[in-house]
Amino acid sequence: MKLIIDTDPGVDDAMAFYYAHAHPQIELLALTTIFGNVTIDDALRNALWLTESVGAATKVHRGAAQPLSIPPNPPADFVHGPRGFGGIIINEPNRSAEALSAADYLISITRKHPGEITLCAVGPLTNVALAIQKDPQFLSRLQQLVIMGGTLYAKGNVSETAEANFWNDPHAAHIVLSAPQPANVITVGLDITDKIEFTAPDFDRLAQASPKAGEFLKSIGAFYLQFYQNRSGKATCSLHDPSAVIACLHPEFFTIETHGLSVAMSGDDIGQMQINTAVNARKSHVCVGGDVAIIKENFLNITGRNP
């Protein structure tokens, strides 16, 4: 599978990267970066560092620094640490970003490989929306777009009803979910990701299997686990972004409903994913549940293959 991850690294974004890097069926072409958990400068720095840490050939592109229409929310330093990697200070990477912006790269690579690219977007959807605005056929040229974002039935994680990635750029999320062009779009949101409980012993297992990448995830995961523990009283964190990458290859692990969708762009429910019952609404596949044990085991198994 030719895969691109659009990412705001971030602890669970780093987990998603190492999963994809180690998977024998994934050719990870690029990381396109986006503001969200961190500023765009830190997203780029962290993405370059991740690829460098395992000597990956994966290219890195700079994406949007802010949402399409609303003022940017502050970075989620209380969730992911001051610069995205918990309490860990990394060296500045030696690699540099590619010349093309994220949106221009997405347009260009899908023209080169129409119908072959899977895009997994695990941050705010601004880069994807910009690509659609510049080239309305962009979505139709993807093999699939798998999005970590939204929730249909579960509670939000930044408000009663909204999930963080859609809340950080609700206009972009609405453009992507309501674009009329035919497209294979799957959302993997809190309905499933908040049910997958990742623990300190799980991070220990990763560190034992993979002394470099796994140990790094264990180190940055400590901050992430502490945030969850402070919020819920439980010593477990959710497996958000890795679940979306797993869904790219294994939709059979998930329970899927198919709906027309929209996103609230103002008011108390800003960022909420909603069902659009209009007959002409483009349909997306929404992961509303799944086999929690299989998804977690698959993540641990594959990610543990890293150095």
Give the phi and the psi of residue 56 in degrees, each rounded to 5: -75, 150
- 217, 158 in Cβ contact below 8 A? no
CA dihedral angle for residue 78, residue 80, residue 81, residue 85, rounded to 10 degrees: 180
Q: Which of ligand RIB, Ca ion, none does residue 6 bind to, with CB < 5 to 8 Å depending on kind?
A: none
Would you say 20 or 164 has its CB closer to ligand RIB?
A: 164
Is there a contact between 61 and 30 (Cβ–Cβ < 8 Å)? Answer: yes
Q: Are 27 and 1 in contact (CB under 8 A)?
A: yes
Asked if 157 interacts with ligand RIB (CB under 6 A), we say: yes
271 binds, among ligand RIB, Ca ion, none (CB under 5 to 8 A by kind): none
Local structure of 89: helix, strand or coil: coil
What is the DSSP secondary structure assignment for residue 141, as one 8-state letter?
H
Q: How many CB atoms lie within 10 A of CB 275?
A: 12
Establish whether 285 is a catalytic residue. no
Q: Which is nearer to ligand RIB, 135 or 194 (CB)?
A: 194
Candidates 4, 5, 10, 242; binder of ligand RIB (CB under 6 A) is 10
Q: Could you give the string, one character per residue 72-111, with x where binding to Ca ion holds by CB under 5 A and - elsewhere?
A: ----------------------------------------
Q: Which does 163 bind (CB under 5 to 8 A by kind): ligand RIB, Ca ion, none?
A: ligand RIB
List the one residue from 3, 5, 13, 106 that touches ligand RIB (CB under 6 A): 13
Region of 9-17, 176-184, 198-206, 217-225 interacting with ligand RIB (CB under 6 A): 9-17
CB of residue 255 to Ca ion, shortest distance in Å = 22
Query: Which structure tokens are listed for 290?
Result: 């799944």
Among 8, 42, 135, 202, binds ligand RIB (CB under 6 A): 8
Given 23, 240, 259, 285, which residue is catalytic?
A: 240
At position 75, the amino acid (one-letter code) is: P
Does residue 189 bind Ca ion (CB under 5 A)? no
Which positions from 228 to 247 touch ligand RIB by CB under 6 A, shown as an x/- string?
------------xx------
DSSP symbols for 193-239: HTT-EEEHHHHHHHHHH-TTHHHHHHHHHHHHHHHHHHHHSSSEEE-
Residues catalogued as catalytic: 240
